[in-house]
Chains A and B, each alone.
Chain A
Amino acid sequence: MRRKLRVAAALLAILCVAGWLTLGANRGWTKTSRTRMEKDPVTDIDFPTVEKHFSPGVDGLCIGLLLAAGLAGISFAFKPNPNHSS
């Protein structure tokens, strides 16, 4: 159990960091939409178009890493399996 929890914690931490990096490495708060600016050809006005896009921020990353740390911490509550070296 101890080993399984630690593997789960490591996987969760890797997934969180990889997901955060893949989805834009947003250093602000989590966003559920993104705004792109386009140019109107007649008036030359730059105007925003809002589209749904999930971009996890540092808040999401921190929650994921805290959960991973929690799992790793819980693993210490279990005694090491004598059949394994770790």
Chain B
Amino acid sequence: MTEFKFTLIAALAAASTALAAPTKFDFKDPKGVNNVVFKTDAPLESINGTAGGISGAVLYDPANPGATTGKIVVAANSLHVGNPTMKEHLHGEMWMNVAKYPEITFELGTLKNAKTTGDVTTADAAGKLTIKDVTKDITVPVKLTYLKDKLKARTGKEGDLLVVRANFVVKRSDYGINASKGEDKVSDEIDLSLSVAGTAPKQN
């Protein structure tokens, strides 16, 4: 009887550990929806652009959203503006130098001040943003929306979705992006708006 109790407790402990394990959400979206919008507003010019080459993974536990960790990667060569000459300059050595620095990454350290209402969690994501090999600690307000069993509506596979939204500002001078030059046309402060969805297919 004692042996049975021990086995039962062990099985329950194992099950609870398995249930509490965070789920890995992959942010390489086959639908091509994930994006970053960037805006600069300088005295002479206002420029809007987008980037769609998102990848990375986030470990998210709906029972404990505050423990979320992960990394989001943006392919630098996916940065796009409507004017072809401007895009060439943006990708070039003076600005983003995408040939030498192909990735922009945000590595999430901790989620502070996490507040969850239903499936929505708002928090301050503290982590390391790396642009052109310059890494800075930043804290970004984020909104996580957990969409349980909604993957089927997108891809036909059983699973969950995690939508991450964040709006924040970075200074290009902090990351050596043609620092202190051309600020009449490209402002030092760049507004960034991240909207990404991660997928977690159910394991059978």
Contacts and interface: CB of A to CB of B under 8 A. Distances in A.
Contact of B150 (A33, A42, A47): A42
Contact of B82 (A35, A42, A44, A45): A35
Interface residues of B, number: 28
Interface in A24-64: 28-35, 40, 42-48, 50, 55, 57
Given A48-B50, A48-B52, A43 B33 contact: yes
**Number of chain A interface residues as a range:** 10 to 19
Given A33-B82, A42-B154, A50 B163 contact: no
Nearest to B86: A29
A32 B195 contact: no
Nearest to A46: B195
Given A29-B86, A35-B82, A40-B31, A45 B50 contact: no
Contacts, number: 60
Contacts of A33: 80, 82
Contacts of B46: 28
B33 A40 contact: yes
B197 A45 contact: yes
A42 B147 contact: yes
B37 interface: yes
B195 A47 contact: yes
Given A28-B45, A40-B31, A45 B83 contact: no
B153 interface: yes
A65 B195 CA distance: 42
A29 B83 CA distance: 7
20 contacts: A28-B45, A28-B46, A29-B83, A29-B86, A32-B82, A32-B83, A32-B84, A33-B82, A40-B33, A42-B147, A42-B161, A43-B145, A43-B147, A43-B163, A44-B163, A45-B35, A45-B195, A47-B34, A47-B195, A50-B50
Given A31-B82, A32-B83, A40-B33, 16 more contacts: A28-B45, A28-B83, A30-B83, A31-B83, A32-B82, A42-B154, A43-B33, A43-B150, A45-B33, A45-B163, A47-B32, A47-B33, A47-B35, A47-B52, A48-B35, A55-B82
